Amino acid sequence: MKEKIKVGFYGVSGCSGCLLTVLYEDCFKELVKMVDIKSFPFIKEDSYKGKFDYCFIEGTVCFDEDIVTINELRKRSDKVVALGSCACFGCVPSIRNFHNQEKIMSFVYPKYNHLKEVDPTPIGDHIKVDYYLPQCPPDKKEILEFVKCILTGREFKSYTSPVCFECRKKGNPCLLEEGKICLGPITNGGCGALCPSNDTTCYGCRGPCKDANYEAFFKMLKEMGHTNKEIKDKLETFAGLAFKEEEGESSKWLER
């Protein structure tokens, strides 16, 4: 019988929500049939010190020890997969980049902080990442589809159309038309327009859509009466660093 591929799951500074998504009964049951899970926080002691074919990493790099951890995992892994918005874009911890860092650290770690913090950044800023599975938390079906692709040699294709595409297909009422800030037009879909389908605006957790017209989108939001702060607050929540990078030097939403 062919040996199963060796897989590891790890987390740096995250909330463990991505790992818990994998642990949900139906996802995990299917996963263990397909791969040999050598390491998984909460359920397997981390005694395995060998190599991985694929290593899934959750979380943002927030502390110097995170950099040590991911470098070590990179050395031991043939392929590295960024699991969830934190690993892909920096997500909620990266909001710190857009505010007074010292003030925020004093709120979160008021005293006795023995950790040496670094600017919160996605893991791809520190090590080579082979695949990205964004979303906060990531989609179980997409994780399983990814694993099926690697096992069958099919190419894994990330979804590249905006959230609006799936949202319109579902026939949802448009929240922008209700005057709300919905980032659907500038965000990569693949979530089935999860939030707008539940009457909640998109916060951009699957990252920026490559072909989006940011300038026109922000102009429209301003014309709708939204303030710079409201737009900034929304954009920085899940993928602020990635939106900043995608928009480029010509138009800086952070300075609006």
Closest contact distance (angstroms) between CB of 120 and ligand SF4 is 11
The residue (of 77 and 85) whose beta carbon lies closer to ligand SF4 is 85
Q: Which of 7, 136, 147, 209 binds ligand SF4 (CB under 6 A)?
A: 136
Contacting residue, 80, 147, 195, 212, with ligand SF4 by CB under 6 A: 195
Does residue 203 bind ligand SF4 (CB under 6 A)?
A: yes
Distance CA 256, CA 251 (A): 9
Residue nearest to ligand SF4 (CB): 184
CA atoms within 13 Å, Cβ hemisphere of 205: 25
Given candidates 31, 40, 58, 63, which one binds ligand SF4 under the rule CB under 6 A? 58
Query: Both tokens of residue 18?
Result: 């991505």
* 82 binding ligand SF4? (CB under 6 A): no
The answer to whether the CB of 146 falls within 8 A of the CB of 156 is yes
Looking at the Cβ atoms of 150 and 163, the one nearer to ligand SF4 is: 163
Q: Do 55 and 77 meet the contact criterion of CB atoms below 8 Å apart?
A: yes
How far apart are the C-alpha atoms of 175 and 6, rounded to whole Å? 44
Give the separation between CA 117 and CA 207, rounded to whole angstroms. Answer: 24
240 part of the interface to ligand SF4, by CB under 6 A: no
Contacts of 237 (CB under 8 A, 6+ apart): 92, 95, 203, 204, 205
Based on CB atoms, which residue is closest to ligand SF4, 135 or 250?
A: 135
Binding residues for ligand SF4, per CB under 6 A? 14-15, 17-18, 58-59, 84-86, 91-92, 135-137, 163-164, 167-168, 172, 174-176, 182, 184-185, 187, 191, 193-196, 202-206
